[in-house]
Structure 1
Amino acid sequence: MGKVTTKKRQIIRVEGTGKEKHLAFANALNQIHSQVLKEKNDVIVRIEPMTIQIVRAEQETFTERFFFFFLPRVRADYRVLLDVEVEITLIEMETVSFVEKKVADPNGFPIFFGKKKRMYKEAN
């Protein structure tokens, strides 16, 4: 057989959230693999991000207080929406031709007792 892998480029939109900026980006980038697997039924060998564009980056801030009055502190949540261009190396299942072989059941075992019973009944 010859070369079976092919490379394709695709743009994937992912969204991530986190308590810090780098956690929001990490959350978004971790979703790339699952997005590619949803769309493809082929065997994925490698997913490599080529370019990343930020579509939206938001910071939500709020003041958190203990018992509604004490110890106020400002908290923030970050949310990013990214367009990631990825190069996917994959094996297309339509191009692979399988050779069919007929084999006995590897998990089965021959039944010896069934034949002897019949022979015993026929003799009597």
Structure 2
Amino acid sequence: MNHTRQVLRLTGSGPSRHKAFADAMAQVQRAAGERATGVCYRVEPVDLQVVSAVEHRWTERFLGLLFARTRSRFELTLRIEVRVAALDLDGLDFTLREERLTPLQHALHMR
């Protein structure tokens, strides 16, 4: 069992502030699991800092002239420090149990 600390820099975007934050936080488990040695079974955020928060605004028009509307998209970059608990399956010793079936039992288990 390994406990490590990792610093992740993740970017999320979406049509609202909440969706941009949720998009960035949804990436934490996958990003921490890629860096961990073994099977990652727990990821705890320890510290969170906002690196950048940007709102992009633009005006759209139907056919270039009609029905103007203002659209916006939010982009959020976070620096997240996480504590990862992982289990190294290569270091485990598995015991081997073999079962021998009689021909009748083997025929009954076949479908």
TM range (shorter): 0.7 to 0.9
Q: Which runs of structure 1 show a deviation greater than 4 angstroms over 4 or more consecutive aligned residues?
A: none
Task: Quote the residue 1:103 is aligned against.
Answer: 98
Check the 8 A contact 2:58/2:71 in 1, yes or no. yes
Name whichever of 6-15 and 22-31 sits farther off.
Answer: 6-15
CA–CA separation in structure 1 for the residues paired with 2:84 and 2:93 = 22
Larger radius of gyration: 1
Deviation at 1:13, TM superposition (A): 1.0
CA offsets, 1:30-74, max 9 Å, x none? 011111222224121111111111111111110011221112111
Check the 8 A contact 2:36/2:86 in 1, yes or no. no
Q: Please tell me whether residue 77 in structure 1 is matched to residue 73 in structure 2.
A: yes
Choose which of 39, 55, 64 in structure 1 pairs with 2:35: 39
CA–CA separation in structure 1 for the residues paired with 2:83 and 2:9 = 14
Choose which of 56, 59, 63 in structure 2 pairs with 1:63: 59
Supply the AA of the counterpart residue of 1:35.
A
TM-score relative to the length of structure 2: 0.79
Q: What SS does structure 1 have at the residue aligned with 2:32?
A: helix
Task: Quote the residue 2:11 is aligned against.
Answer: 15
Deviation at 1:11, TM superposition (A): 0.7
Q: Which runs of 5+ in 1 are unaligned?
A: 111-124
Q: Please tell me whether residue 24 in structure 1 is matched to residue 39 in structure 2.
A: no
Task: Quote the residue 2:86 is aligned against.
Answer: 90
Q: Indicate the percent of aligned positions where both proteins have the same amino acid.
A: 27
Q: Given the superposition, is the C-alpha separation of residues 52 and 103 from structure 1 closer, same or farther in structure 2, using an over 3 Å criterion? A: same
CA–CA separation in structure 2 for the residues paired with 1:105 and 1:75 = 67
TM-score relative to the length of structure 1: 0.71
Supply the AA of the counterpart residue of 1:18.
G
Supply the AA of the counterpart residue of 1:21.
R
The alignment covers a number of residue pairs equal to 104
